[in-house]
Amino acid sequence: MKKTLLLLSCLLQITILLAQDTESLKNKVMIIGIDGCRPDALQQANTPHLDALIANGTYSMDVLNNHITVSGPAWSAIMTGVWEEKHKVVDNLFTDSKIEDYPPFFKYIEDYDSTLHTASISQWFMIYYKISRGFVDSNIFVLDETKHVTEATVEYLSNRDPDALFIHFDDVDHAGHANGFAPDIPEYMEAIEKVDAGIGEIMSTLEARPNRAEENWLIIVTTDHGGIGTSHGGNTFEEENIFYIASGDYIPNMEITKQGDEDYSNTPKLVDVAVTALHHLCIPVQAEWNLDGEAVGIACNNISVGHSEPFIQEEIHFFPNPISQNGQLYIENLPSEAHTLQIRNITGRLVAQKQLTKGENAYILPQNITTGWYLLDLLQDNHLINRGKIFVID
């Protein structure tokens, strides 16, 4: 049976806007960590600012930390892009850790371009002392409460110019340990709502930055673990279930859900956060880094060249292919320069890629194409110059 990719005309216009309007934007990333925040509680709490981030990006409430549901290993995975088998953090003591061998993503940013400014603002001392220390331009430890994390971040965004900023809130985890990790615990829900209010202040400050119109911010929000009763560290669903939000003006608006009742293979992972941040900053991930994560929900939007016409034609077909059973993608009338054509699924993971020579039409044999949304990206010299959003149907 032939599959057809339907491309709406309004999406063609979006492609043109991407090529024309973001040409001078500077990519920046902010990662917000909410320690010990269960997705079911987040969804039931009154969180208008997190809701706004969700509405402007790619998100999933079907994420699992099915490794060690303890802060040390989990935040290490989030910030380094590798699991505990590599970073060797298995508890909150960081004994015999290999953070120097598998450093936080800040180091890759600094090594790529030392003029990029990195900062970490953490309410948990071990992030400040054991993960970020020695790898960031500014490493700030914030004592006490959510409001102090908010105040430190607002001050930083108002007076400094970070390119990569990590922020850690700890009060939700404190409330869980003191009162219980559950949506029916008022103190736990209040802690989540206070963090949301803090995020609202941070986002207002970001939007008020003098150069905001020239900045392309990716905002990632996630957590390290959930909880059950007043503890965590086990392998119950309540402890393992976490969430992922990637928000921004040029991030696809979509929800990533599990497949069936138990298949979480297509949903984000903790180790994807660092790789997604690097990808947004257009920093190539090197094989020797040996990272475990992948970019989720985004592609490098460092656009340097614009085209007056979208590269995607109105009709794109998968022609039956008896070998692959998945069909062959054909696209014609590509620009004359040499380009790279990529197809990514809704998580941003690469499905197919082909290098194109001058004037060549594109024939690709995708191996993992199923019904659903995909991103079709055209790159030149590692810069995204055109994008289409396509839907495959039977």
**How many domains is the chain built from?**
2
- Examine residue 294 and state whether it is found in any structural domain, yes or no: no
Q: Do residues 256 and 342 both lie within one domain?
A: no
pLDDT tens-digit profile of 308-323? 344 443 334 444 443 4
pLDDT, tens digit, 9 for 90 and up, residues 119-130: 999 999 999 999
Instruction: Give the predicted TM-score (pTM) of the model.
Output: 0.79
Range of the domain at 387: 3-21+303-393
Residues 250 and 127 in one domain: yes
Domain shared by 232 and 327, yes or no? no
pLDDT at residue 12, as a whole number: 25
Whether residue 329 sits in one domain with residue 359: yes
Domain CATH for 332:
2.60.40
387, 9 contact by CB (below 8 A)? no
Q: Is residue 346 part of a domain?
A: yes
Instruction: Please state, in angstroms and rounded to a whole number, the distance separating the CA atoms of residues 296 and 347.
Output: 5
Q: 230 or 262: which carries more pLDDT confidence?
A: 230
Tell me the average pLDDT across 175-200: 98
Residue 182 lies in a domain: yes
Most confident stretch, 187-201, 253-267, 281-295: 187-201
Q: Is residue 295 part of a domain?
A: no
In contact, 240 and 64? CB cutoff 8 Å: yes
Whether residue 263 sits in one domain with residue 124: yes
212-235, pLDDT tens digit by residue? 988 989 999 999 999 999 999 999
- Is residue 318 situated within a structural domain? yes
CA–chain centroid gap for 51, Å, is 16
First vs last C-alpha separation in the chain: 7
Separation of alpha carbons 269 and 291, rounded Å: 12
Are both 213 and 353 inside the same structural domain?
no
Dihedral sign (CA 371, 375, 378, 379): negative
